[in-house]
Chains A and B, each alone.
Chain A
Amino acid sequence: MQRVIHIFKKEFGVYFVSPIAYIVISIFLLVTGWFFFSAFFLFNQANIRGFFALLPITLSFVVPAVTMRLFSEELHVGSYEILLTMPVTFLEVIFGKFLASVAFIAAMLVPTISYPISVSFLGQLDWGPVVGGYIGALLLGAAFSAIGLFASSLTRNQIIAFITGVAICFSLTLIDKMLFFLPRSLLGLLQYLGADFHFSNISKGILDSRDILYFLSVSFIALYGTYLGMQEKR
């Protein structure tokens, strides 16, 4: 457990030593801020549903950009060998990196709290859905982090890792919107697979165990895939 924390601290620190953190956070805030506030005044309603509605799509681009280096860079430089010949287990490595990515996404979401705060000055803001939305955003970020980590463990090329990650996250987000084209018999199943579907439930302020279970199981499956990928390299 100690070693998970050390790996976490190192990975999290590296984000802020290099310019990646600042670039990714700036772009994220710019995109979400712009899309949210440009439509906000048209509705004339004091809620931040617009912000959360866009979040799955934004995150499915941003999170893979955060996670793409976690394994690919190590594989490319060769420091992977150094990491694995130190007394650490695969699981410690995976969890350390996973937590670093989740913490980074949390840090990225912190400045957006200014949106509900400024909205609360304009009208009666219901804080329930806001809290739910942030819990959902963290769960979504964790699930996408796990997927991005898995994509990163597959290749030593960061660009490929990014594109693979985006492809998986984006399909999970969009599957919900594509239901119209899909066969009726599969509808229930496919809807259940969509990340957007579960996220929108939570961001309404309803904390359903099914939705939480969904994000946890996506994380688990992706992290287990990462573990298998590491085994495969030996």
Chain B
Amino acid sequence: MIQVQGLTKYYGDLCAVDHISLDIQRGEILGLLGPNGAGKTTVLRMLTGYLRPTEGTIRVKDYAIDKNPLEIKRLIGYLPESAPLYRDMLVYDYLGYVADIREIDKNRKFTKIRKLAELCGLNEVMHQPIGELSKGYNQRVGLAHAMMNDPEILILDEPTSGLDPNQIAEIREIIRRIGKEKTIIISTHILSEAEAACNRVVIINRGTIVADGSTETLGQSTSQGHLITVALQNADLEAVERELYSIQGIEDISALDEQGDSLEVRITCRYPEDLRGEIYKRIKQTNWVLMEFHQETRSLETIFRSLTKEA
């Protein structure tokens, strides 16, 4: 669907994006992750044709961005960071204007706007000036704007920034609903968002790609062992350590919390062993009461941190 080759952007002497190559398939929901200033927005701006790459090529379907920018823009719906819209216009007028520019058929225009207002929950604010809307509504108008032409590709730059948890959940729900048939690219620095919404994650740092894969494969790619948290009653740390260190493959046991006779420990296992069965067998042989027992998968957060940490 989208092929990016050696994409580079310089702002003066500053290299914002450095030879990025990406191949995005139809139907993928791609999360573009990275710390602030990593070049996420610059990449998206080049994909949408707003900025001209210093070097490299972008192809969307059969179109090249430098030769057929209009055709590409017709395929893409784009929500820029913080959705900067015309503040003087009413929501309804604005959506009508976008529909006109997007060349939506006159007869379909009204039903299209109604449908989008329904989908994005805009019905109550249709006749208010955009400048008077709350951030959440503003963002939703931006989303409706981006989806006006039923784009095959939807590009959202930090769609949930500045929203409250309910609004974030709503926006994610919308993304999931439309993501079934469309290619979506989301940039974010909120990791849980990428984990929740995306099926592929690309992490960029200082303008280069440092990781690329599905959320699961990324989790396995860092060769660190599993973490197991166990909460016990009627046990003390010394006895637990004595009992569990005898299992082959346990690297570390540390107490997270110790109150009276209840104890919570974190067990670090050697990569890539799964020791849950063994640990449970040991605990069963004692008179400890098992209150909690779970294994954490390495979260995206740890991967993100280890990949983008300043050297």
Contact = CB atoms under 8 A, between A and B. Distances in A.
Interface of A: 2-3, 6-7, 9-10, 13-14, 17-18, 77-79, 81-82, 84-89, 234
Given A2-B103, A7-B101, A84-B50, A89 B70 contact: yes
**Residue of B52, B86, B87, B98 contacting most chain A CB atoms (<10 Å):** B86
Contacts of A84: 49-50
A87 B73 contact: yes
A74 to B, nearest CB: 8
Nearest to B82: A78
A75 to B, nearest CB: 10
A85 B89 contact: no
B3 to A, nearest CB: 19
Contacts of B97: 6, 10
A87 B52 CA distance: 16
A57 B97 CA distance: 36
A78 B80 CA distance: 9
A86 B73 contact: yes
19 contacts: A3-B103, A6-B97, A6-B100, A10-B89, A18-B88, A77-B84, A77-B85, A77-B87, A78-B80, A82-B78, A82-B80, A82-B145, A84-B50, A85-B73, A85-B80, A86-B98, A87-B70, A87-B102, A234-B52
Interface string B71-94: 001101010101011111100010
What's the interface size class on B, roughly? 20 to 34
Nearest to A2: B103
A6 B87 contact: no
Interface of B: 45, 48-52, 70, 73-74, 76, 78, 80, 82, 84-89, 93, 97-98, 100-103, 145
Contacts of B70: 87-89
Contact of A81 (B80, B86, B103): B80
Contact of B74 (A2, A79, A87): A87
A161 B51 CA distance: 23
B73 A14 contact: no
Nearest to A18: B88
Contacts of A234: 50-52
B139 to A, nearest CB: 13
Contacts of A7: 101
B101 A85 contact: no
Contacts of A78: 80, 82, 84
A85 B74 contact: no
B85 A14 contact: no
Contacts of B103: 2-3, 87
A234 B76 CA distance: 18
Nearest to B90: A17
A81 B145 CA distance: 13
A88 B149 CA distance: 14
A82 B85 contact: yes
Contacts of A14: 86, 88-89
A14 B52 CA distance: 30
Given A81-B45, A85-B78, A87-B73, A6 B84 contact: no
B101 A86 contact: yes
B102 A82 contact: no
Contacts of B73: 85-88
Nearest to A96: B101
B101 A87 contact: yes
A68 B239 CA distance: 77
A2 to B, nearest CB: 7
Given A85-B76, A87-B74, A79 B88 contact: no
A79 B48 contact: no
A110 to B, nearest CB: 23
A98 to B, nearest CB: 17
Closest 8 CB pairs of A and B: A78-B84, A87-B73, A6-B100, A234-B52, A85-B48, A85-B78, A81-B80, A87-B74
A9 B86 CA distance: 14
